[in-house]
Amino acid sequence: MRERRHEIALTVGAPLALLLAACGGADVDPGAAMDVSHVHAIAVDPEDPARLYVATHEGLGAWTEDGLVRVSETSGDFMGFAVGPDGVLYGSGHPGRGEDAPFALGLISSTDGGRTWAPVSLSGEADFHALTADADGVIGYDATNGLLRASSDGQDWVDREAATGFLDLAADPASERVLGTTGEGVLVASDDGGVTFEPVPDAPDLLLVEAFADGSLLGLAPDGALVLGSAGGTWQPAGARAGEGLQALAIGPDDTVWLLDGEGLGRSTDRGATLERVPGW
């Protein structure tokens, strides 16, 4: 399935340059088996908790235990990807080889499950390397301009400088809170739709973060350990660890944890206490 993986170093302050690599072209055949060089994000299909969207250098795919198949008609590099609460998919990045689009795609969206994509805003201006979406709108880290940008409609944006960048963004399904991890591994949270973020007190250094349905948190520490954060602010080891070549973390609406690293795709149904490697990857 995967011949090579572009790895995120498991160290605090992992260089954001690791997320800036150029993309290559690929043959486009939706529904065909897909080989990819690097994955930027995974997200659970809200209509099928056993199916994952996989945002890659070579376009958008979908994984089930039968394997990874291409979804998108574009072979573009999906640097950022998110599933909105209404099923709309959001993305950002760069067009595939020979595709007629600006190098920085801005915010794009799909209403047909990721097969076709249309520009929404900031075309030619922004390249979101982290995205999340909830009922209040879309929030993303624009790596081209070093800005954290928030929009209630995907058109008009509130911007603020983000000097250390963002590795990850995640909406809390239990509240209006939005979580993020900075390029220095600091966990931050926003209660105003992503306009402002503040460090979470007593939180450990984290590279990635996701939220369970009850609002408790699961983070990925620089040493690969999964850690649990309670609503009361206490943290403890979850039990499982990521292997080398960490790439993505996601939690489904059924609280199943999905983790992609150099060993393949792992699944946890006990909040990260154990990690089971799954077939089809």
- What's the pLDDT tens digit per position in 122-164? 999 999 999 999 999 999 999 999 999 999 999 999 999 999 9
Contacts of 48 (CB under 8 A, 6+ apart): none
Query: DSSP labels for 187-205?
Result: EEEESSTTS--EEPTTPPP
Q: Please state, in angstroms and rounded to a whole number, the distance separating the CA atoms of residues 240 and 227.
A: 9
Write down all domains in the chain, each with its CATH number in brackets: 16-277 (2.120.10.30)
∠132-212-189 over CA atoms, to 5°?
50
Q: Please state, in angstroms and rounded to a whole number, the distance separating the CA atoms of residues 266 and 281.
A: 10
The predicted model scores a pTM of 0.89
Residue 247: the pLDDT is: 92
Residue 137's SS3 state is strand
For the record, the structure tokens of 113 come out as 């499950």
∠75-1-50 over CA atoms, to 5°?
85
Bridge partner list, 148: 141, 160
Residue 187: the pLDDT is: 98
